[in-house]
Amino acid sequence: MFKKIKFTLDSLYKIYDLSDKLELIQMSLGRIEKRQANGHSLADYEYKVFSQWGEDGVIQRLIDLLPIANNKFIEIGTEDYMESNTRFLLQNNNWKGLIFECEKSHVKTIKNSNLSWMYSLDAIDAFVSPQNINQLISEHDFLDDIGLLSIDIDGMDYWVWDAIDCINPRIVICEYNRILGNNFAVSIPYAEGFNRITSHYSGLYWGASLPAFIYLGKRKGYTLVHCGSLGSNAFFVRNDLITNTGLKEYFPGSLSRFHIRESRDQEGGMTFLGLADARRLLADMPIIDLINMNELTIGALDL
């Protein structure tokens, strides 16, 4: 039999106090990591504070190298913001933030946290799409030359960045889908209200390939400078800022190392498929060749 646990007001205060102390430890470790990070490539600066993988360290290195006129960021797709690309920027560097999340419960959690009153952070409950993203951004004071844009919505990521024209961020971070390979600029077709679980039970059908974001970045005036060693994020810097920074164009190698195994079966259980099995499972799913703008299937690609 399970015993009922009763939380008194005093015990809740102790839990909150412990949470605050753990956050301070995270922040302190992040600052130590920053002071110790050293190397010739951005991969040498990867470390995690609040990010999923090593994005915090890469971002810190980039803002040290680049002139940033406006210390503002926009992050699209944050869940409850416990794990994100921009939270260390918010707390360590005192940047002003605008974040979008479609789950009302997550936004409520953020608004009820200390982050909302201790820092300049606006959390917006919105399902972001190519049709509404410019209006959503324009309703807040985040136009034109902001410091950083991060997109991680597990769906229409390519189409959303393609649609954004009201800001000119100096750094852009996009999550790409490794299953779509490293040889073709492809994305899933645009679908209004897309949900990666309802679109395919595995949860693996979403987003765009890395070459797709490189192709889009070049069209928008950005250069790929890094891909996370352990994650799936691509880092772009605006072309006019790269001179005299030591940053160089990054040429990704093989994406055969596939360590993120988040596939599910039709009952929702984890199946931990490898890359080859994941591609076979999605072989009949449609994708768009963004160079020629024609539709084909994942199985038709020579991956």
**What interhelical angle do 55-65 and 9-36 show, nearest 10?**
50
Signed CA dihedral, 75, 146, 178, 154: sign only = positive
Tokens standing for residue 169? 């961020």
Write the pLDDT tens digit of every residue in 106-163. Answer: 999 999 999 999 999 999 999 999 999 999 999 998 989 999 999 999 999 999 999 9
| 284 pLDDT more than 90 | yes
Q: Quick one: fold of 37-300?
A: Rossmann fold (3.40.50)
Share of the chain above pLDDT 70, in %: 86
Per-residue pLDDT band at 13 (split at 50, 70, 90): very low
Range of weakest confidence among 58-72, 216-230, 253-267 = 253-267
Tokens standing for residue 250? 């990054």
**pLDDT for res 261:** 82
Q: Which residues lie closer than 8 Å to 41 by C-beta, 6 or more apart?
A: 226
Angle at 46 between CA 84 and CA 30, to 5 degrees: 65
Number of CB atoms found within 10 A of residue 207's CB: 27
Burial class (CB in 10 A: 0-12, 13-18, 19+), 258: middle
DSSP-derived secondary structure for 96-130:
EEEEEES-HHHHHHHHTSTHHHHS-EEEEE----T
Tokens standing for residue 177? 């889908």
**Model pTM?**
0.89
CA distance 287 to 279: 13
Contact 229, 252 (CB under 8 A): no
Angle at 157 between CA 277 and CA 219, to 5 degrees: 110
Number of CB atoms found within 10 A of residue 27's CB: 16
Write the pLDDT tens digit of every residue in 33-65. Answer: 666 667 789 999 999 999 999 999 999 999 999
Per-residue pLDDT band at 14 (split at 50, 70, 90): very low
Range of weakest confidence among 122-126, 206-210, 258-262 = 258-262
